[in-house]
Amino acid sequence: MGTNYIYNSDKIKDILVNDIIIGKEPIIIAGPCTFGSYEEIYEIAKELKKLDIKFLRAGVFKSRTNPYSFQGLHDEGIEMLLKIKEEFGFKIVTELLTLEQVNKYGKDIDIIQIGSRNMYNYELLKEIGKIDKPILLKRGLSATYKEWLMAAEYILKEGNNKVILCERGIRGFDNETRNVLDIQAVPYIKNNSKLPIIVDPSHASGNRYMVEAMSRASLAAGCDGLIIEVHTNPDKSLCDSEQTIDIETLKRIVEFKNRI
């Protein structure tokens, strides 16, 4: 499979996010699942800067399972992220859920995240295929490799060849962990496509004590980067607190990455 598809063709070139080439050496995208105030995101950003983290993740449009859960700061949150970007120089990675949001904020964000729940939203994929912006395409909750690559192809077909795949765990049968990190996705994608692949050990495991080990495993498997939920006070995280690591743990992961 694959030879006739763009994802496996020479049309896939290096993805440049400002000055950083994705796929050259592993990147680390870090930050809270979401945040509730400027002070909160500022405190986290300040600590990430000290670790020389270049990519800040933070959700402002949250697709929560429970409609009564906090849904993010929306427009106000985007404004805060842009202020943080200006102050610290991070590249901003955040999820956009709709075409309206893409049209309104797409140009200001450095990498647009398409979440697991939207991997099958083909009309949205077609539209983001028409813009010139790196897209982080998360794997659907129980998507096969082929379905995931076909979702990428929807974007590529429209002309946007800047697609980064993200393995974020798939549904398993054991409720002890949130999902199952499919580490095999890394060699599969490397062998069957020319797209870069990063790993999200946070949503995969759902447990903060697993995140460091799974980060090391992902790097050892040859991924192009990690996206990790981190907070200066993980217990106070408004969302996904159980899987959110502290700054110290992130520091060890960064050190590990720098050694390999």
Footprint on residues 12-41 left by ligand PEP (CB under 6 A):
33
Residues 166-205 as x/- pattern, contact with ligand PEP by CB under 6 A: --x----------------------------------x--
- Cα dist from 15 to 132, 165, 257, whole Å: 11, 12, 20
Report d(CA 137, CA 156) in Å as an integer. 12
Report d(CA 186, CA 167) in Å as an integer. 8
Residue 240 interacts with Mn ion (CB under 5 A): yes or no:
yes
Contact 219, 14 (CB under 8 A): no
User: Residue with the closest Cβ to ligand PEP?
Assistant: 115
Q: How far apart are the first and last CA of the chain?
A: 32
Angle at 222 between CA 194 and CA 251, to 5 degrees: 125
Residues 114-153 as x/- pattern, contact with ligand PEP by CB under 6 A: -xx---------------------x---------------
Following DSSP, what letter does each residue of 60-92 receive, concatenated?
SS---SSTTS----HHHHHHHHHHHHHHH-PEE
Of 29-37, 95-103, 107-115, 184-192: span binding Mn ion (CB under 5 A): 29-37
Which entry of ligand PEP, Mn ion, none binds 168, CB below 5 to 8 A by partner kind?
ligand PEP
Report d(CA 64, CA 75) in Å as an integer. 17
Residue 72 interacts with ligand PEP (CB under 6 A): yes or no:
no
Residue 208 interacts with ligand PEP (CB under 6 A): yes or no:
no
Radius of gyration of the chain (CA): 17
Hey, which bits of the chain come out as E strands? 15-17, 20-22, 27-31, 55-57, 91-95, 111-114, 135-138, 163-167, 197-199, 225-229
Of 50 and 64, the one with the shorter C-beta distance to ligand PEP is 64
Least spacing, CB of residue 165 vs Mn ion, in Å: 18
Residue 101 interacts with ligand PEP (CB under 6 A): yes or no:
no
- How many of the chain's residues bind ligand PEP (CB under 6 A)? 8
Of 153 and 240, the one with the shorter C-beta distance to Mn ion is 240
Exposed e or buried b per residue across 139-148, where buried means at least 16 C-beta atoms within 10 angstroms of its C-beta = bbbebebeeb
Of 37 and 69, the one with the shorter C-beta distance to Mn ion is 69
Of 6 and 197, the one with the shorter C-beta distance to ligand PEP is 197
Report d(CA 197, CA 22) in Å as an integer. 9
Of 25-33, 95-103, 135-143, 152-160: span binding Mn ion (CB under 5 A): 25-33
Of 9 and 241, the one with the shorter C-beta distance to ligand PEP is 241
Say if strands 225-229 and 27-31 run parallel, antiparallel, or are unpaired: parallel
Of 69 and 103, the one with the shorter C-beta distance to ligand PEP is 69
Q: Which positions touch ligand PEP (CB under 6 A)? A: 33, 59, 95, 115-116, 138, 168, 203
Binding site for Mn ion (CB under 5 A): 33, 240
